[in-house]
Amino acid sequence: MTAAALMAAHGWPREAIAIVTVTTSGDRIQDRPLAEVGGKALWTKELDGALFSGEIDCAVHSMKDVETIRPDAIAIAAMLPRAAVEDRLIGADSIAALRPGAIVGTSSPRRAAQLKSIRPDIETRLLRGNVARRLASVEAGDFDATLLAAAGLDRLGQASVGSAIPIDTLLPAVAQGAVGIECRADDERAVALISAINHRPTCRCVMAERALLLALGGSCHSPIAALAREEGTDIRLRAQILTEDGSQQVSGEALLPGGATAGATALAHALLDQSSPALRALFGTA
């Protein structure tokens, strides 16, 4: 997708771009939750190393997997147009249709907490790996169901797989559905070339969501959901924080005039102000 966007923007032939496949720690470690083995850095550290060594000029990421605080030497130069932000449920037509005591596979604290807030009888168990592995686990009966990002399924040509869950039921993860491209901050040529494919509406909304995440001080253990959408020149930001068992949750929204991220910070503080000590304890600002 990034190569195609660069070819279209600059009139390059396909051979002008080399795609270097980098296997990350997040790809290799499948038997433990990310939070136990290094968090989101597991998806970025090898790519960061390839950038710093000069092996690659830019790194393509799912923005959902990029740490909130990045090294000063790395710049987020562009984001591609955002795909669908919803989650899809595999194994049942809806959350209500899941059998009593259903076992749902997920590695996401957000999804687990949201499911339990709706259906406290549901049991969640760790399920990591690529889409094929997760689908196979449900098909084999190891789990009653799982949740996957609609964006990932769509990009893999599996748009018909699963049942979309409305965002009013499951607010998505910060930056879900967004692809970002990073460069070395001092590589002015690369930054300029990559910036030409930036989709400004996506970038504005994702940066608002990331500003909220930063202000909350959340980690991979912290169930956080957020979604920003443009309203003219402004941005409407919705957010939700939950306890890990879903028994407590606080939601809110704010209009960010001109997209100013100060409003995202204020929303984060408002959510924490409304939270119980148990809920606040899950965030770095507690």
Residue 170 domain-assigned (yes or no): no
Residue 228 domain-assigned (yes or no): yes
Residue 156 domain-assigned (yes or no): yes
The per-residue pLDDT for 27 is 63
177 burial level (CB within 10 Å; 0-12, 13-18, 19+): buried
Same domain for 2 and 78? yes
Residue 19 domain-assigned (yes or no): yes
Where b means 16+ CB within 10 Å and e means fewer, 92-109 reads: beebeebeeebbbbbbbb
Same domain for 104 and 221? no
- The Cα–Cα gap between 267 and 132 comes to 37
Same domain for 75 and 204? no
Neighbours of 185 (CB within 10 A): 17
Based on the residue annotation, tell me whether 87 is a catalytic residue of this protein: no
Q: How many domains does the chain have?
A: 3
183 and 57 Cβ atoms separated by less than 8 Å: yes
Q: Say what the pTM is.
A: 0.92
The per-residue pLDDT for 1 is 95
Distance of CA 248 to the CA centre of its chain: 22
Question: Which is catalytic among the residues 48, 57, 65, 187?
Answer: 65
Residue 132 domain-assigned (yes or no): yes
pLDDT in tens, the chain (286 residues): 999 999 999 999 999 999 999 887 656 555 555 555 555 566 688 999 999 999 999 999 999 989 999 999 999 999 999 999 999 999 999 999 999 999 999 989 999 999 999 999 999 999 988 899 999 999 999 999 999 999 999 999 999 999 999 999 999 999 999 999 999 999 999 999 999 999 999 999 999 999 999 999 977 778 999 999 999 999 999 999 999 999 999 999 999 999 999 999 999 999 999 999 999 999 875 3
Where b means 16+ CB within 10 Å and e means fewer, 226-240 reads: bbbbbeeebbbbbbb
Same domain for 205 and 193? no
Residue 75 domain-assigned (yes or no): yes
- The Cα–Cα gap between 5 and 77 comes to 14
Same domain for 253 and 190? no
Same domain for 142 and 20? no
Q: Domain with 221 in it: what CATH number?
A: 3.30.160.40
Same domain for 184 and 69? yes
Same domain for 185 and 76? yes
Same domain for 156 and 134? yes
The per-residue pLDDT for 286 is 38
Phi then psi dihedrals of residue 72, to 5 deg: -60, -25
Same domain for 57 and 19? yes
Same domain for 187 and 72? yes
Chain segment 224-260, per-residue pLDDT in tens:
999 999 999 999 999 999 999 999 999 999 999 999 9
Residue 246 domain-assigned (yes or no): yes
Q: Domain with 12 in it: what CATH number?
A: 3.40.190.10
Same domain for 126 and 10? no
Which of 165, 189, 219 delimits the end of a domain?
Answer: 165
- The Cα–Cα gap between 55 and 238 comes to 39
267 and 235 Cβ atoms separated by less than 8 Å: no
Residue 172 domain-assigned (yes or no): no
Domain range for residue 35? Answer: 1-82+177-198
